């Protein structure tokens, strides 16, 4: 349990049948004002954890505390937590202003103050001029803003967003990402954002909690999750990755041996000497070695036989083989112009651009 003010989730377990755990011993300490994303595949436990924070699900065991006070026995509407759902959940017969004011109505706020605060909340999300419109008269993005204003109008201690951008098209989703992050910086509310979209998690979060099978595999800032994943699952789920089986030859020097890559150097590892491991290298870490000066290029090098490629405009994803292993390289568009299927190229990568992980069965 953290001694900092904020939200503390302590060894929370949720089981619906007494046998399987939808959430299996999740613990997190989230200080006030932080933007945290719960990231993971469907069924990983992220939304169930969010619902327990909101009070819509009850933990089988464990505790959830806000500023030192346990929330477990407190009704959802008394937790002072705002919630935004993927489907907006707006009342179709109410105007935008009445939808936003509804939480204040439920709290017994006087009607005049309801409308004043609802108008201010709609101004905050840029919809002040649309207060009198009904949900059917608003676009998907505008409806999402109304839902966001409704969650903010009573000044919550924590804001929960359950895949709120999933129903929006790509451009609008990106615009809403920027707007939500801007609002977070402006208001400073502790925010938990649930998504299975890696890009949303990477661009919006102060820290990311990566869920898998009801547990958290890593809780760290986005760049750390990407560059130094704690497990092979995190490395594979977040971004594009190459994994190679290796044997540690000299852990102190960070030297490993790979049947596909030959002898390569990587960062020092706490894994025992001679133990098996997996070397992770992101596709963009590779670059083509200058054939005229191979010795002056990157420390680690291997030959790649090109099987095919996918052109993304600014870059090309090269699919190939290094020995018996499949390999993916992300090469800049200019460099990739001369590459052809069936060609063998030599590529290099820096030791600091690779990461050593324990093998999983």
Query: Bigger pLDDT: 346 or 259?
Result: 346
Whole domain around residue 346: which residue ranges?
240-358
Residue 248 shares a structural domain with residue 228: no
Q: What is the distance of C-alpha 269 from the center of its chain? A: 26
Residues 6+ apart with CB under 8 A from 124: 149, 152, 183, 186, 187
Residue 82 shares a structural domain with residue 196: yes
Residue 211 shares a structural domain with residue 263: no
Residue 271 shares a structural domain with residue 295: yes
Q: pTM score, two decimals? A: 0.89
Q: What is the CATH number of the domain that holds 342?
A: 2.40.50.100
Residue 140 shares a structural domain with residue 254: no
Residue 95 shares a structural domain with residue 229: yes
What are the backbone angles phi and psi of residue 10, rounded to the nearest 5°?
-120, 105
Q: What is the number of residues in the chain?
A: 361
1 domain-assigned? no
pLDDT of residue 267: 64
Q: What is the CATH number of the domain that holds 37?
A: 3.40.50.300
Q: Average pLDDT in the 326-351 region?
A: 86
Angle between helices 96-106 and 140-152 (to 10 degrees): 20
Question: Is 281:354 a contact under the CB 8 Å cutoff?
Answer: yes
E strands present in 154-241: 158-162, 190-195, 207-212, 215-220
> CA 159, CA 22: separation in Å to the nearest integer?
23
**Domain end call among 217, 235, 253:** 235
Model confidence over 196-249: pLDDT tens digits? Answer: 999 899 999 999 999 999 999 999 999 999 999 999 999 999 999 999 988 887
344 domain-assigned? yes
51 domain-assigned? yes
**Domain end call among 205, 235, 265:** 235
> CA 286, CA 51: separation in Å to the nearest integer?
42
> CA 174, CA 165: separation in Å to the nearest integer?
9
32, 261, 306, 326 from 323: Cα distances, Å = 50, 7, 12, 8
124 domain-assigned? yes
Residue 199 shares a structural domain with residue 161: yes
What are the backbone angles phi and psi of residue 50, rounded to the nearest 5°?
-60, -45
Q: Judge whether residue 83 has pLDDT over 90.
A: yes
pLDDT of residue 269: 66
Residue 303 shares a structural domain with residue 160: no
Q: Average pLDDT in the 267-287 region?
A: 79
Residue 219 shares a structural domain with residue 346: no
116 domain-assigned? yes
Burial 253-266, CB ≥16 within 10 A → b, else e:
ebbbebebbeebbb
Query: Bigger pLDDT: 77 or 212?
Result: 212
Residue 70 shares a structural domain with residue 94: yes
By CB atoms closer than 10 A (0-12, 13-18, 19+), residue 159 is buried
**Domain end call among 185, 206, 235:** 235
Residue 14 shares a structural domain with residue 155: yes
Residue 288 shares a structural domain with residue 354: yes
Share of the chain above pLDDT 90, in %: 61
pLDDT of residue 3: 44
191 domain-assigned? yes
Out of 17-31, 72-86, 273-287, pick the least confident.
273-287
328 domain-assigned? yes
Count up the domains in the chain and report the number.
2
Banded pLDDT at 311 (limits 50, 70, 90): confident
Pairing of strands 325-332, 35-39: unpaired
> CA 361, CA 347: separation in Å to the nearest integer?
29
Tokens of 249: 């030859």
């Amino acid at each position: 349990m953290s001694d900092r003010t904020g939200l503390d989730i302590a060894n929370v377990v949720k089981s619906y049948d007494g046998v399987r755990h939808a959430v299996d011993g999740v613990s997190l300490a989230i200080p006030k004002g932080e933007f945290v994303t719960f990231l993971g595949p469907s069924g990983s436990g992220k939304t169930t954890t969010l619902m327990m924070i909101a009070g819509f699900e009850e933990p089988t065991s464990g505790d959830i505390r806000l500023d030192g006070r346990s929330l477990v026995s407190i009704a959802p509407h008394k937790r002072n937590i705002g919630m935004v759902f993927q489907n907006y959940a707006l009342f179709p017969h109410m105007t935008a202003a009445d939808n936003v004011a509804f939480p204040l109505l439920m709290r017994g706020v006087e009607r005049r103050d309801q409308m004043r605060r609802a108008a201010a909340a709609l101004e905050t999300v840029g919809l002040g001029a649309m207060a009198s419109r009904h949900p059917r008269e608003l676009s998907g993005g505008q409806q999402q803003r109304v839902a966001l204003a409704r969650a903010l109008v009573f000044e919550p201690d924590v804001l929960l967003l359950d895949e709120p951008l999933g129903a929006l098209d790509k451009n609008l989703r990106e615009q809403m990402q920027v707007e939500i992050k801007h609002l977070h910086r402006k208001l400073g509310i502790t925010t938990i954002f649930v998504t299975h979209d890696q890009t949303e998690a990477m661009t919006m979060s102060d820290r990311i909690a990566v869920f898998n099978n009801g547990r958290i595999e890593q809780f760290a800032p986005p760049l750390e999750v990407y560059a130094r994943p704690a497990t092979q699952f995190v490395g594979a789920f977040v971004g594009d990755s190459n994994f190679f089986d290796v044997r540690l030859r000299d852990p102190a020097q960070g030297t490993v041996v790979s049947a596909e890559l030959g002898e390569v150097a990587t960062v020092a590892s706490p894994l025992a000497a001679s133990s098996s491991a997996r070397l992770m290298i992101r596709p963009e870490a590779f670059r083509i070695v200058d054939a005229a000066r191979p010795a002056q290029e990157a420390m680690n090098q291997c030959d790649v036989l090109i099987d095919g490629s996918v052109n993304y405009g600014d870059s090309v994803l090269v699919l190939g083989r290094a020995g018996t292993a499949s390999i993916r390289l992300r090469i800049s568009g200019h460099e990739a112009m001369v590459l052809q299927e069936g060609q063998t190229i030599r590529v290099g990568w820096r030791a600091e651009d690779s990461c050593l992980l324990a093998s999983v069965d």
